[in-house]
Amino acid sequence: MMHRTIFLIFFILLINIPGVRAQQPAFTNFTVENGLPSNEIYDVFEDSSGYIWFATDHGISRYDGYGFKNYSTADGLVHNTVFGFFEDVHHRVWMRMFNSALCYMEHGKIYPYVHNESLQRFLGRNFIQSFAIDSAGDLWFMSIRSPFGLYHQHHQTGKIERVVMPPGYNAVVMELGGNKVIGAVDLENKGAPASPENMIKHTGNCWFFHIVYDPKDMGRSLVRMAYDKSGNFIFSFNENITEVRDGKLKQQFQFQHLNPVNNLF
C-alpha cells in the first residue's frame, strides 16, 4: 500500500512539472546555410537506401543524415531546375526537369535519358507533371497541360503512344511492377459515364474509373496518388479525390473552392 501511495504522489507531482505535459514536436529547418543549393524546393523524396533527395531550382541535393551532396549541370544534369524524382526497380533515381528532359543517377553518376530529344519534340512547350519507368525500361508519363492522357515511350524505338481508355472512363492508374504505379486522366475520352454499379474497371494492370470535372478549369491539371502494397490507392485530380479499396470504389469527393491537391502520402 505504501509503494502505491508513493507512486501516486510521484505521478501527481510529475504531471504538474512545467514542460512535462504535451511537447512540441522537434524539427530541423534546413537552408542553404546547411548546404542546400537553394531554399526553393519542388520535391522531397526518400530512396530505398534511406537517402533524402531535394529537387530545387539550382540542381538536386542528396542528404545522408549528416550532410548534403549537391549536383548541377556541371555534374551531368540536363537542366538545373528539377521538379521531381522517381526510383525504378533497378534503384536508379530518375529526375524530371523544367525543360521536360529526364536524367537518372546510377552508381553515383548522372546519365541523360536516351530519348530526351524526341520526348522534348513531342511535348513542345508542354512539360511532364508525372512519370514512371517500368521494369522493361519504358517511360510512362502525363503532361501538365492539354492534351491530357497517359503516354508510353518504348525504350528501344523511342516511339510514343497514347494509352486508350474504355468509353466512359477518363482516369487510369497503371501498375508497372515492383510496386510502381502511375496515374493519369484523359479528358478527351468520350462515352457515357460508367454506371454506378460499374464505376471502376480492372483490366490487366490498369484500373479505369470516371471522375467529374469542370471543363472551365482544365487549362492545366494536377494528378497525384498514393498507393500501398495491397493495391489500394487514393487518386487526386485537381480538387477531386477518389479512393479505391479492395478493388472497389470506396468514395469520391471534391474540395469545393479550394486549390488543387498538391501531394498525397
pLDDT (tens digit per residue) in 156-175: 999 999 999 999 899 999 99
Question: Is the predicted pLDDT of residue 125 greater than 90, yes or no?
Answer: no
Average the pLDDT over 133-154 and give the result: 91
pLDDT of 17 = 54
- β-bridge partners, 183: 173
Using CB atoms within 10 A of its CB, is residue 208 exposed (0-12), middle (13-18) or buried (19+)? buried
Question: Is the predicted pLDDT of residue 12 greater than 80, yes or no?
Answer: no
Q: In the structure, what pLDDT confidence band is assigned to residue 116 with cuts at 50, 70 and 90?
A: very high
pLDDT of 81 = 97
Q: By the 8 A CB rule, do 60 and 77 touch? A: yes
Question: Is the predicted pLDDT of residue 9 greater than 80, yes or no?
Answer: no
Question: Is the predicted pLDDT of residue 7 greater than 60, yes or no?
Answer: no
pLDDT (tens digit per residue) in 206-225: 999 988 877 666 666 789 98
- H or E element that contains 176: strand 171-177
Nearest CA-CA partner of 234 in 168, 149, 173? 173
pLDDT (tens digit per residue) in 58-113: 999 999 999 999 999 999 999 999 999 999 999 999 999 998 899 999 999 999 99
Nearest CA-CA partner of 128 in 91, 203, 69, 78? 78
pLDDT of 231 = 84
pLDDT of 11 = 45
Average the pLDDT over 128-139 and give the result: 93
Average the pLDDT over 193-201 and give the result: 79
Question: Is the predicted pLDDT of residue 131 greater than 80, yes or no?
Answer: yes
Alpha carbon distance 205, 165 (integer Å): 13
pLDDT (tens digit per residue) in 24-53: 788 889 999 999 999 999 999 999 999 999
pLDDT of 213 = 76
pLDDT of 108 = 92
